[in-house]
């Protein structure tokens, strides 16, 4: 079975590596163009590109796949490259480019997307973060047959896991491993059984939610909200864009890396500091209180609460 892989970040790299390690022929890899990153703003290759280069795979990085878009010459070249390898299936994981209809129709088994949610809940850009923010008990992976709609296609295989107290980084890593396992399972069955391998499950029309892209503006927390809501947001926004709070004595918002819910009753104004200790900075919220256990000053480094309070201006 010939598999074309399309993906960009670390989440996708794990899936690509698993597919290749399972012995599938991956004659072509597609990833986003190199982006400028870091303090020096040097061009940086994606995680998938680095993996493809290490494996000696053929690689393309089109700016667009739309034949009628702003970069039609790139789209045409990509189409020719895909047609040349004649893939049986295209696997997509956090690729970052919209796949037009010609790509969906190109391979006999179409395009399979590794999606990090239990569809139809959390279609869209940030399913991992939004699941944590909403207080969902479970998240998971769906291997979805792609179609023109946004994450609307039928699901071939689904695997779930309990979120617990994980932050976005931890849930990302857990789902990346689960996604790599799931896509290998699907491809193995397709290679052995063909069209009879799966009866795709059409997504329910009820329970559809959309995971909007995170913004820096919403990462500035409001102490007037409940401690439970704020604790979930801190986990959802860790590490990016990073939850920030206003604290007395600081001219700029402080980044919060981790926090704990406190069973503390109070009648104080939201944002009032209740206590400062080596265990954390306790802050009154609209309902309940929150203990901030890891913090970072603007321009500073990540610190424990004990380290952080040593430099606190009273």
The span from the CA of 16 to the CA of 102, in Å, is: 22
32: Cβ contacts below 8 Å, ≥ 6 apart: 8, 46, 61, 95, 96, 97
The response to whether 274 counts as a known ligand-binding position is: no
Phi, psi of 32 (to 5 degrees): -70, 155
246: Cβ contacts below 8 Å, ≥ 6 apart: 220, 223, 253, 254, 271
The response to whether 230 counts as a known ligand-binding position is: no
The span from the CA of 169 to the CA of 263, in Å, is: 26
Indicate the DSSP class of residue 166.
Answer: -
The response to whether 43 counts as a known ligand-binding position is: no
The span from the CA of 203 to the CA of 28, in Å, is: 30
Quickly count: other Cβ atoms within 10 Å of residue 87's Cβ.
23
CA distances (Å), origin 186, targets 8, 33, 146, 147, 312 = 21, 28, 14, 18, 54
Contacts 24+ apart (CB under 8 A), 176-182: 176/10, 176/11, 176/14, 176/15, 177/14, 178/140, 178/141, 179/11, 179/14, 179/15, 179/93, 179/114, 179/116, 179/141, 180/14, 180/15, 180/17, 180/18, 180/19, 181/18, 182/114, 182/141, 182/143, 182/157
The response to whether 44 counts as a known ligand-binding position is: no
Q: Which residues are annotated as a binding site?
A: 117-120
Q: Which residues are annotated as a binding site for (6S)-5,6,7,8-tetrahydrofolate?
A: 117-120
């Amino acid at each position: 079975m010939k598999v074309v892989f399309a993906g960009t970040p670390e989440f996708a790299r794990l899936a690509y590596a698993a597919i290749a390690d399972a012995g599938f022929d991956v004659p072509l890899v597609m990833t986003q163009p190199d982006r400028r990153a870091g303090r020096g703003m040097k061009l940086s290759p994606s995680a998938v590109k680095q993996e493809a280069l290490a494996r000696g795979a053929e690689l393309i990085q089109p700016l667009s796949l739309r034949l009628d878009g702003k970069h039609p010459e790139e789209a045409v070249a990509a189409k020719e490259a895909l047609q040349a390898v004649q893939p049986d299936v295209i696997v997509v994981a956090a690729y970052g480019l919209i796949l037009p209809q010609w790509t969906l129709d190109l391979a006999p088994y179409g395009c399979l997307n590794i999606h990090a949610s239990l569809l139809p809940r959390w279609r869209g850009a940030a399913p991992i973060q939004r699941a944590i923010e909403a207080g969902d008990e479970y998240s998971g992976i769906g291997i979805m047959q792609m179609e023109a709609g946004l994450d609307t296609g039928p699901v071939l295989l689904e695997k779930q896991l309990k979120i617990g107290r994980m932050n976005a980084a931890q849930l990302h890593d857990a789902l990346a491993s689960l996604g790599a396992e799931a896509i290998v399972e699907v491809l193995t069955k397709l290679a052995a059984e063909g069209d009879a391998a799966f009866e795709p499950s059409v997504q329910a029309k009820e329970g559809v939610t959309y995971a909007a892209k995170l913004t820096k503006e919403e990462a500035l927390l409001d102490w007037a909200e409940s401690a439970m809501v704020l604790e979930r947001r801190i986990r959802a926004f860790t590490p990016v864009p990073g939850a920030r709070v206003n604290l007395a004595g600081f001219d700029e918002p402080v980044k919060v890396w981790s926090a704990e819910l406190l069973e503390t009753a109070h009648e104080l104004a939201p944002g009032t500091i209740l206590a400062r200790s080596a265990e954390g900075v306790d802050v009154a919220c609209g309902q309940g209180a929150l203990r901030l256990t890891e913090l970072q000053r603007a321009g500073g480094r990540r610190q424990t609460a004990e380290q952080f309070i040593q430099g606190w201006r009273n």
